[in-house]
């Protein structure tokens, strides 16, 4: 399978990594360096104290330049509405979006494919944040295994669709795609 051509396309970036690897911080930094108006599309829902604390920490890390759009499920609709040449969207994160769909009994496989298929047509740059959950042991229960499998498939779809892919480990980014310097300035 050959990689799709990215020439002439609006940049799209997929940032992968484990929990607390520095993915969100890196995505935020790229967005703030772009000279475009940054928009965070948050997929998390504060369903418990620990998640509400995580959300608050992410909010505290952003300054007044940022617009916030909260959407746990209708990500494609938000992308089609919010993506513009003068903005840079940060989707944080695909992992929670997938989890929300699986818990809500959505047709997540079809929605993941639709999302990946839409990336090339977006009229503005987008940074997608996603966890790499398949690097550890095989989960002990069926739901966790199904989630790890679905997350792996989503990451593969998005890596194929995005013009650039970066892996973050311990706060250190490694460029996976393309094999050339990253430039999100347009």
Which residues, in sequence order, are CB contacts of 2 under 8 Å at separation 6+? none
Is 96 in contact with 44 (CB distance < 8 Å)? Answer: yes
User: Residue 30's closest CA among 113, 100, 90?
Assistant: 90
Annotated catalytic residue within 9, 25, 54, 58: 58
Residue 93 CB coordination number (10 Å) = 22
Beta strands across the sheet bearing 172-177: 67-70, 37-42, 87-92, 126-131, 12-17, 164-169, 172-177
Instruction: Determine the Cα–Cα distance for residues 98 and 79; give it in Å rounded to an integer.
Output: 16
Instruction: Determine the Cα–Cα distance for residues 78 and 73; give it in Å rounded to an integer.
Output: 9
Read off the tokens for 176.
């996976």
Q: Is 179 a catalytic residue?
A: no
Is 55 in contact with 44 (CB distance < 8 Å)? Answer: yes
Read off the tokens for 81.
């509405």
Annotated catalytic sites, by residue? 58
């Amino acid at each position: 399978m050959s990689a799709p051509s990215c020439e002439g396309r609006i940049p799209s970036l997929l940032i992968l990594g484990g929990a607390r690897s520095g993915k969100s911080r890196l995505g935020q930094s790229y967005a703030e360096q772009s000279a475009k108006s940054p928009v965070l599309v948050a997929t998390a829902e504060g369903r418990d104290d620990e998640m509400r604390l995580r959300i608050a920490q992410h909010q505290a890390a952003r300054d007044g330049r940022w617009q916030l759009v909260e959407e746990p499920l209708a990500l494609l609709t938000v992308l089609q509405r919010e993506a513009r040449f003068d903005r840079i969207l940060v989707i944080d994160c695909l992992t929670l979006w997938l989890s929300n769909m699986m818990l809500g009994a959505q047709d997540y496989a079809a929605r993941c494919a639709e999302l990946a298929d839409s990336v090339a047509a977006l009229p503005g740059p987008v940074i997608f944040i996603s966890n790499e959950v398949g690097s550890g042991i095989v989960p002990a229960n069926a739901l966790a295994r199904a989630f790890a499998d679905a997350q792996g498939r989503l990451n593969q779809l998005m890596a194929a669709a995005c013009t650039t892919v970066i892996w973050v480990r311990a706060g250190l980014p490694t460029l996976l795609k393309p094999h050339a310097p990253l430039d999100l300035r347009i």
